[in-house]
Amino acid sequence: MESINLIDVYKKLKEIEKNMATKEELAQAMETVCILSNEETIQQIESSESDIKRGKFKQIMSVKDL
């Protein structure tokens, strides 16, 4: 049976940990996938970007502006 050096195991675990995604990063990635896989949402985003480029928007500074 081969013996394992605990220091080497610790170093390897730390190396793996550095490359792992956090829960927040995974949640953000999942949200992005959901948005990009929804054709209706993509169309709404493209339409909004087009409106902004044409100056067709209203700046809202307070609740009264709604």
Sequence spans of domains, the chain:
6-65
Angle at which helices 23-36 and 39-53 pack, to 10 degrees? 80
DSSP character at residue 46: H
- pLDDT value of position 48: 95
- pLDDT value of position 2: 79
Positions in the chain whose pLDDT score sits under 70: none
Is 2 strand, coil or helix? coil
**Statement: the pTM of the whole predicted model exceeds 0.85:** no
| N- to C-terminal Cα separation, the chain | 73
R_g of the chain computed on alpha carbons: 24
Q: How far, in Å, CA of 66 to CA of 60, rounded?
A: 7
- pLDDT value of position 24: 95
- pLDDT value of position 33: 96
Percent of the chain with pLDDT over 90: 83
